[in-house]
Amino acid sequence: MTFKFVLTSLLLVLSVVIAIQSLNVPSGNLCGINGHPVEYNCRGKRDGNYPHPSKCTHYIACTAGIVACEIECAQNHTGTPLHYVQNSGPSPQTSRCDYPEVANCNNDGCNYAKSNKIIPQANRCSIGGVPFNYDCSGHADGNYPHPKKCTHYIACTAQLVACEMECAGNHTSTPLHYVQDSGPSPQTSRCDYPEVANCHRECNL
């Protein structure tokens, strides 16, 4: 059993070394001179370039489904970085940066000074959450009243990601109501019985 474990570990280390060598990049810097390692889920993605989730002037280069590198676009004649053309990748032969009016990047992260956090693409909302069209700009991470549903609330993350969450059910399986002024801290925000929550929205919308 021990011999099999050691052999398996050695084979795993050898495969990683071979993968690194095949990239033709020094093991100390897998992203090369112009790139920086970044937390981004490249699993299941082809090798190539992908839109940055929060910066129009950058893009993400994925390699081997493991390595993620943040790379800045080249600059224009005035020294201002160009914008990554969102649908030009992932092929390195077609992906490119261009002038803002051509790239037409309009994601929430274009003004990236408000947030440099990167949210993994695979699952932006936790289990039970659904992506929702809600402006989390300027909001601290936490929970906020739903604009239309008393039985739901909105969870904001990194001022970019908004998730619609449903309150738990009471003893009759009827959803409770979100207590409007209990957030945004997850430690204090809560759902409770309608007479306690005192939500006056159109709860059936």
Same domain as 100, residue 74? yes
- Whichever domain contains 53, its CATH number is 2.170.140
Q: Is 92 contained in some domain? A: yes
Same domain as 104, residue 34? yes
Q: Which domain holds residue 153?
A: 129-197
> Which 3 state secondary structure label does DSSP give 51?
strand
Q: Is 1 contained in some domain? A: no
What does pTM read for this prediction?
A: 0.42
Q: Is 98 contained in some domain? A: yes
Q: Distances from the Cα of 71 to the Cαs of 50, 78, 83, in angstroms?
A: 10, 19, 11
- Distance in angstroms (rounded) separating the CA atoms of residues 1 and 8: 11
- Residue whose pair of structure tokens reads 């280069």 in the numeric block: 61
Q: Tell me, what's the pLDDT at 53?
A: 87
Give pLDDT tens digits for 56-104. 889 999 988 888 899 999 988 878 888 999 889 899 899 999 888 888 7
Same domain as 81, residue 140? no
Residue 75 burial (CB count, 10 A): 12
Same domain as 140, residue 65? no
